[in-house]
Chain A
Amino acid sequence: MKKRSSTFYLLMVPVLLWLVMLIVIPHLDLFFKSFRFENDDGLVVFSLNNYLAFFQDKIYWLTFVKTAIYSIGVTILAFVVTFPVAFYLTKIISKKYSSFMVLLLLIPIWIGELVTIYGWMILLGDRGVINNFLIKIGVIDTPIVMLYNNFSMTIGLLYMSMLFMIIPMMSALESLDDSLIEAASDLGASKWTIFRQIIIPYTTPGIASGGIIVFMLVIGDYVAPNILGGKSALWFTEQIYNEFLATFNWNEGAAFGFLLLLLSSGIIWLALRLTGQKLEKVGS
């Protein structure tokens, strides 16, 4: 066996400590704790009860399914909303302005989710800015209920996640040679054909990595569903939160956490398979 230099171990040991202590062991622990159950005699036994509780109580698995569907939906919505913007900033607007407009996109990211979601709470409330404005111009007489439902939750989730999609799509679009589009146009291709046959295939890696980031942010989010969604728009992270910080049933919470992990990695695995991408690429 080749002898390793001491520098190799100097690099290896801290990285191993990080990965083993903070990634591997905690998640194995999560997995094992999810099978622990305190029975009627107060003894801790191995059992599937924590998972049974999930399937027996309708509210749990309905929320789970809803979280999955909404997360995929918001991801698709984020793509539809931001792709034209990414295209505009890379291919249409002159280079002089585009870097400033990209900067504007980064500001809400760095301000942080809590502040921007709070801003939406003020905008959408019964006495909020939008209702006030609509009443003043005479479109409506009484405030429309926009807050504390699935609509406000979706707005919040979209707002806090969509900007993360623009950046990877822009870097993919940037490397797309304009002459390909020009050539197609000269040969009489319509805008839709160019979009479907050239732009989309070319930017798939950017769309995939942006989509995965958005999906992860949305499915694991707590702030937007809790502050903007209220009681009528439940999210699976809220159930985990309740198990841990309200009812202190940590073992059941561990089972829910593990189910969320399975769900998110399952969907991402599927998305990577369908688009032919690799996780290593998403990171870069």
Chain B
Amino acid sequence: MIRSLPCSPLYKNGYRLYILLFYIFLIMPLITICVLAFNDSNFIALPWNGFSLDWFFANSDERLGLFYDEGLLLSIWVSLQTGFFVALSSTTIGTVAALLFEEEEFKFKGFLYFLALAPLVIPGVVLGISILLSSTFAGTYIEETFGIDVEFLRPSFWLVVIGQFSFGATYGMLLVGARLKKFDRALAEAGQSLRATRLEVIRLITIPFLRPAIIGAFVVTFLISFSNFNTTIFLVGSDPTLPVDLYSRIKFSSTPVLNAISFLIVVFISLSAMISFAINFRKKQ
């Protein structure tokens, strides 16, 4: 049953087979996309018509490759920018919130912490429509009263950033908070007895200690933002993010260029995962 206990070969092999099937189930859609990205065909699925790089590099009337598809390249760029701003704001506020909830005592702390965790149990769609409703309301109100048109309150690039930040900060807080729990309070006390102010202790002792978690939170919130669809769809303005663009192409105009972009995402993510794995592995040795 476990490593140290003997068990029948049937049980052992059956278990192995199940794990193998599970991993096949896991990897099958990814392999399919990657292979079909190189299919010399105008349709996204089979049959296989031979190898071709057209869906990356072609620029003809019939086939528009990924690197010439300006709409797709633009949406990748929008997503990268969105991801950067979401990661930056979520990590900052997440760290601040982690410091607040771990180190300070105040009234209604439990209730505020509950609110900070709420985005985990609010469906993304609901978060999207609530922010859309209230920002539209605020925008109309400001325009009618003061005659100022506030652009970021209408569906736009910045409203997407705000919407993704609203739950990204929760993830930032949890990731940084997990490391802050392991922080040795004696270090902060030593700093304070050497007459550092509270802010100096945070800046010079706590933040450097938290650095790995802060970097991790930045990466995670970036990836969450980069792949978010459910909240983004309600807040997106004239320039779509990559998932929104992919969605409308899948629904209305699917060409194998979708396989090509998916291939790039799969390769990029897998390589980054392998590299971070290798670095961790060498650190441990």
Contacts and interface: CB of A to CB of B under 8 A. Distances in A.
A282 interface: yes
Interface residues of A, number: 93
A23 interface: yes
B123 A219 contact: yes
Question: Which residue among B123, B202, B259, B273 has the maximum number of chain A CB atoms within 10 Å of its CB?
Answer: B123
Interface stretch (B54-62, B131-139, B142-150, B182-190): B131-139
Interface string A2-28: 000111101110111011001111110
B110 to A, nearest CB: 8
A148 interface: no
Contacts of B213: none
Given A84-B18, A119-B32, A120-B29, A94 B3 contact: yes
Given A15-B97, A121-B250, A222-B233, A10 B199 contact: yes
Contacts of B234: 244-245
A85 B166 CA distance: 33
A213 B123 CA distance: 11
B198 A7 contact: yes
Interface in B89-137: 93, 96-97, 99-100, 104, 106, 112-127, 129-135, 137
Interface in B32-57: 32-33, 36, 43-47
Contacts of B250: 114, 118, 121, 227
A29 B18 contact: no
Nearest to B43: A127
B230 interface: yes
B210 interface: no
A29 B133 contact: yes
Contacts of B130: 26-27, 29-30, 257
Contact of A107 (B122, B233, B269): B269
B45 to A, nearest CB: 5
B94 to A, nearest CB: 9
Contacts of A260: 123, 125-126
B164 to A, nearest CB: 11
A156 B15 CA distance: 24
Judged by DSSP, the binding face of B is helix
Contact of B4 (A26, A121, A178): A178
A7 B230 contact: no
Question: Which residue among B165, B229, B243 has the maximum number of chain A CB atoms within 10 Å of its CB?
Answer: B229
Interface of A: 5-8, 10-12, 14-16, 18-19, 22-27, 29-30, 33, 81, 84-85, 88, 91-92, 94, 99-101, 103-108, 110-116, 118-123, 125, 127-129, 132, 159, 163, 178, 181-182, 185, 191, 194, 212-213, 216, 219-223, 226-227, 237, 240-241, 244-245, 250, 253-254, 257-258, 260-261, 264-265, 268, 279-280, 282-284
Given A22-B131, A114-B247, 12 more contacts: A7-B199, A103-B277, A110-B269, A111-B269, A112-B223, A114-B246, A119-B262, A121-B250, A122-B32, A127-B45, A181-B5, A279-B121
Interface of B: 1-5, 15, 18-19, 22-23, 25-30, 32-33, 36, 43-47, 93, 96-97, 99-100, 104, 106, 112-127, 129-135, 137, 162, 165-166, 169, 174, 177-178, 197-199, 202, 223, 226-227, 229-230, 233-234, 243, 246-247, 250-251, 258-259, 262, 265-266, 269-270, 273-274, 277, 281
13 contacts: A11-B97, A18-B93, A22-B166, A24-B115, A27-B126, A111-B266, A115-B266, A118-B250, A120-B29, A123-B29, A216-B123, A226-B251, A245-B233
Q: Nearest 8 CB-CB pairs, A to B?
A: A220-B123, A119-B29, A112-B227, A26-B130, A22-B166, A29-B134, A11-B100, A7-B198
